[in-house]
Amino acid sequence: MNSPEENPEDYSPSPEEVLWVPESEAGRRLDQVLALLLPQYSRNRLQSWIRAGQLWLDGEVEREPKRKVRGGESLALLAVPDQETLAQVPEDIPLNIVYQDEALLVLDKPAGMVVHPGSGNWSGTLMNALLHHDPALAGVPRAGIVHRLDKDTSGLLVVARSLEAQTDLVRQLQARTVKREYLAVALGRVERDGSVDAPIGRHPSQRIKMAVVPGGKPALTHYRVLQQFAGATLLACRLETGRTHQIRVHMAHLGHALLGDPVYGRSPAGLPPFARQALHAARLGLLHPLSGAPMSWEAPLPEDMRQLLEALEHA
């Protein structure tokens, strides 16, 4: 169903490429049913193929993703891979697995690893590594990834190994019951514990950046002072929400950008150089998606941040 040499003009599906709409899905939208039957593709990708005339419904081209199905129809999709879909292939990349069972796995992501394939990063990602580690994840949307870490942020990340587990973990994230605590080195002397409750959205003029902006999505970060240095502070930051770059944006908003942050910070003289934002996802807690039992994990500081703290102590 996904031969890149074929095109809608001469495509004729073979019998094994034909899917059937389950009777139980009567009344649902066509794109929703297709996403259920072909979970390896994103909804946006499926919608674009439908609009391009690459879907046959009962032998006729159908271009409307919102069309309601009655159940029992035949479907045939010419899924021509583009760079995005071709990038979602297994790659033998080592993973530091902290925990694994039939429902989920928890890993300690190294700094420098991109989570999802995207512009400029079509290989070598966490998704590629997961598909090699567990080929069954090809049947779970986004290979089971339910939350992200920035490329240069290290630490704990949970992956669902089934659609049931993924649905439950997403609900936990939405309900804010997943506990995530980060260790961060902020510039300047942070005097006391506190919280930042400020909405985050796209920066109004610098589109690669996020910012605290009116009308942004609600974002809440709690922070505790762990250790003060000359010109920097070690913080424990706990997320209530999971906005893009949340800790980095909130601390910069307070005037305490993270040491080494190339987007929101600076490299002040007198402090040890650091090649990335000093941010590590150190603790993760959630309810097991099958048993409901509370579980938690910790990841030690990576070597570069450990050396950074030693340098700050002796500065």
- Active-site residue list: 150
Residue 271, class by beta-carbon neighbours within 10 Å (0-12 exposed, 13-18 middle, 19+ buried)? buried
Question: What are the residues facing 76 on neighbouring strands?
Answer: 56
- In whole angstroms, what separates CA 284 from the centre of its chain? 15
Residue 218, class by beta-carbon neighbours within 10 Å (0-12 exposed, 13-18 middle, 19+ buried)? exposed
Continuous segment of H or E residues that includes residue 159: strand 154-160
Continuous segment of H or E residues that includes residue 306: helix 303-313
Question: What are the residues facing 182 on neighbouring strands?
Answer: 237, 281
Backbone dihedral angles phi then psi of residue 139, each to the nearest 5 degrees: -90, 5
Question: What are the residues facing 220 on neighbouring strands?
Answer: 197
Q: What is the CA radius of gyration of the chain?
A: 23
